[in-house]
Structure 1
Amino acid sequence: MRDRIFEVDSWREKQRFTREQVRDEIRALKEEKNATELHLESLQLPFMVVSQCLSNRDQRVPPELTRDQLGEELRKEEHTIENSKRVLTDVCHMGWEKIKELTNVICRLEREIQNKDDALVLEYHVKDLNRNSSDISYKLDPTRIPPDSMSEESYVHCIENTVKIAEQLMKESKHLREIMFKSREQARNQMYAQSQQVEMIMRRRIYDIQRARNEMEWQKYKLEGNLQKVDREIETLRAAVADKINPTKLVETRLETRMRRPVLERVQDKPMRGLIEEYERVHMSSSMLEKKLEEALSTYHGLYNHHQRVTKDLEYKNQALETDRRLIEIRKPLHRDDDSDFKRNVGYCHMPAELVTD
């Protein structure tokens, strides 16, 4: 009896120890699961920021609404966040399933421990009985085998099986905790790397647009100067053409008046030849001035149309620049107050006073 009591008590202590180990593992797994859920919840802000960045860039006008590298990197960042959310959601669900399995094995251990407690109470009672005990009596068929009885080997196998199941579940739980930690760190590293890539492409994009905008502004300035120069030239040519009107009228009037001379006086004399030469000279000069005026007007209209196109393109470029600049303000919640990277991004673009404010 003493050996049996010792054996049952030993198994009970082992199961109690295993139960405490399982409880500790459940506690550790819950902490890891809570940390993973918190990280999963923290991904909502970056996802909203990236979605807002993509929506903001969709507001660009059609000439600037192109598939560029910044858009591709933003979509890649969105995909990275979605993939991280999916992975973390899966491991959280796996953690919930594993906690449920560990809870079930704890219930099984507690039930078996309670059975052993009850069995030990009976064993101690049987051990303490003697021939002088008051509660001894004759029994009907005391050697019968109770129903659902098992052999000693089956009994030991059942206990060992429960312990093995608990140990296997704890091993799986530990591996799952490592997966949770690895998934969180991997998600954090991937998001940081992609965020840095987006910041770099955004700086380059803003710099390129600023450079193109500045070139357009210089081109517009030069066009305006050329327009003023051609306009002054047109005014000068118009004045010159106007100055040729009276000389033309004069020479034509002189020629026409001399044609009214008497027949015998209509001599092609030297004054006649001089007036004809003057007429040809005045008309040639007027024709040249009118041709130059026409060419100047054509040049002016061409410059004016080009100026209008440059002005329109400059408006589109400014709108695109303002749109991409707004991304810096939109992405500001992703940076800490003392984030030197964000300050460096602003410094690279030379626009600390140009940020969009609320």
Structure 2
Amino acid sequence: MQGSGSWSSGILLICEVQAWREKQRFTRECVRDEIRALKEEKHATELHLESLQVPFMVISQCLSNRDQRVPPELTRDQLGEELNKELHIAENSKRVLMDVCHMGWEKIKELTNVLCRLEREIKNKDETLDLEYHVKDLTRDSTDISFKLDPTRVPTESMTEESYVHCIENTIKIAEQLMSESKTLRETMFKSREQARNQMHAQSQQVELIMRRRVFDIQRARNEMEWQKYKLEQNLQKVDREIETVRAAVADKINPTKLVETRLETRTRRPVLERVQDKPMRGLIEEFERVHMSHNMLEKKLEEALTTYHGMFNHHGRVTKDLQYKNQALETDRRLIEIRKPLHSSDETEFKRNVGYCHMSDELVTD
């Protein structure tokens, strides 16, 4: 009867150990799958993190290119603010992705540790089952049975049955908790990647819109300044002709002035008794005053024309210099379009981007 009881207890123990081993094997496979999935998600996040190097390079090149503007055009504008905002978004996305990648590495390490723990416990149970099967197969006629010194002793570091079950359950519980945390982390990685991608795309669209609007505004201002320069050149030619005309008129007044002054001076040499304030004398004096008044008016007109000419000439110089600054600023901002080409996909044409900027996709008639 005692042999039958030991036999039944051995069978129950083997069944219990096998049940725990199967549960740990299932948990081990789940942990392996979770490690594989987490590594794939971490690899995808690292690839996206590497892809941020292109926007970093493009944004930095755009900012350094805009710093080459001359001081009159070197101002804080909306385009500069949007580029700095885009750089801030890229830096923040890089920081967030690096943090989740580090968290993923830590979680993979923890999952690997619990996987090793499970494999060690499964290996121990395999050895235990081998021993239990060997004990079960022993009979009175077995050749390897013998007397032992102290077969009833309790081995060191032995534990109770409750502690044994608690240890197994604790390992499985830790593995399940780590897998739950890993799943949450994978969702966080995916969310961080998509959020970074959406934020970068939205900000890139905003920068492109502001950039093209600025190019349009500068080009319009440049065209207005060219028209202003053209009108100034025409007015300068007109004023120059007027100056030449007035100078010719002033030159024409020289001989009449000499004539009337010579006549008046000559009449002063008449004898004393002939020096009469007669009608010819009064006529010469009136002619003298009229000639000098006309000469003074022409001189004043010439001075005003010269002042106007010099003012227009100086303004023309300032407009010419400002026009050079505008052309340099326009060329600088136009260069940004070429610099930002690596941010666009290869199949994205200029027309498609313009449609996206203007939100006209719903208004176009498709073929």
Shorter-chain TM-score: which interval?
Answer: over 0.9
Question: CA shift at 1:178, angstroms?
Answer: 0.5
- Among candidates 104, 112, 116, match of residue 107 of structure 1: 116
Structure 1 residue aligned with 2:25: 16
CA offset digits 1:115-159 (Å, max 9, x no partner): 111111110010000011111111112111111111111111111
Structure 2 residue aligned with 1:329: 338
User: Equivalents in 2 of 1:308, 1:41: separation in Å?
Assistant: 51
Alignment of 1:230-309 (within 5 A): 230-309=239-318
Question: CA shift at 1:216, angstroms?
Answer: 1.1
Structure 1 residue aligned with 2:36: 27
> Normalising by structure 1, what TM-score?
0.95
Stretch moving more, 324-333 or 308-317? 308-317
Question: CA shift at 1:63, angstroms?
Answer: 1.1
CA offset digits 1:260-286 (Å, max 9, x no partner): 122222222222222111111111110
Structure 1 residues 345, 54: CA separation in 2 closer, same or farther (over 3 Å shift)?
farther
Contact 1:15/1:109 (<8 A) preserved = yes
Count of residues in correspondence between the two structures: 349
Structure 2 residue aligned with 1:72: 81
CA offset digits 1:70-107 (Å, max 9, x no partner): 10000000000000000000000000001101110111
Structure 1 residues 21, 149: CA separation in 2 closer, same or farther (over 3 Å shift)?
same
Contact 1:199/1:345 (<8 A) preserved = no
- Among candidates 133, 156, 169, match of residue 147 of structure 1: 156
The yes-or-no answer on 1:314 pairing with 2:346 is no
Structure 1 residue aligned with 2:362: none
Structure 1 residues 246, 65: CA separation in 2 closer, same or farther (over 3 Å shift)?
same
Gaps of 5+ in 2: 1-9, 359-367
- Among candidates 169, 185, 188, match of residue 176 of structure 1: 185
User: Equivalents in 1 of 2:356, 2:113: separation in Å?
Assistant: 59
CA offset digits 1:181-215 (Å, max 9, x no partner): 00000000000111111111111111111111111
Residue identity in the other structure for 2:19: S
- Among candidates 101, 106, 110, match of residue 97 of structure 1: 106
Structure 1 residue aligned with 2:221: 212
User: Equivalents in 1 of 2:160, 2:87: separation in Å?
Assistant: 62
Question: CA shift at 1:218, angstroms?
Answer: 1.2
Structure 1 residue aligned with 2:139: 130
Question: CA shift at 1:224, angstroms?
Answer: 1.1
Structure 1 residues 312, 328: CA separation in 2 closer, same or farther (over 3 Å shift)?
same
Question: CA shift at 1:344, angstroms?
Answer: 4.2
Contact 2:209/2:357 (<8 A) preserved = no
Secondary structure at the residue paired with 1:100? helix
Secondary structure at the residue paired with 1:146? coil
CA offset digits 1:307-352 (Å, max 9, x no partner): 1111111111111111111111111111123224676449999xxx
User: Equivalents in 1 of 2:38, 2:206: separation in Å?
Assistant: 34
Stretch moving more, 297-306 or 331-340? 331-340
Contact 1:57/1:323 (<8 A) preserved = yes
Structure 1 residues 347, 294: CA separation in 2 closer, same or farther (over 3 Å shift)?
farther
Residue identity in the other structure for 1:141: D
User: Equivalents in 1 of 2:51, 2:93: separation in Å?
Assistant: 11
Contact 2:205/2:357 (<8 A) preserved = no
Contact 2:69/2:328 (<8 A) preserved = yes
Residue identity in the other structure for 1:204: R
Structure 1 residues 58, 72: CA separation in 2 closer, same or farther (over 3 Å shift)?
same
Stretch moving more, 180-189 or 56-65? 56-65
Structure 1 residues 115, 86: CA separation in 2 closer, same or farther (over 3 Å shift)?
same
The yes-or-no answer on 1:192 pairing with 2:201 is yes
Contact 2:260/2:288 (<8 A) preserved = yes
User: Equivalents in 2 of 1:348, 1:190: separation in Å?
Assistant: 16
User: Equivalents in 1 of 2:265, 2:356: separation in Å?
Assistant: 80
Structure 1 residue aligned with 2:97: 88
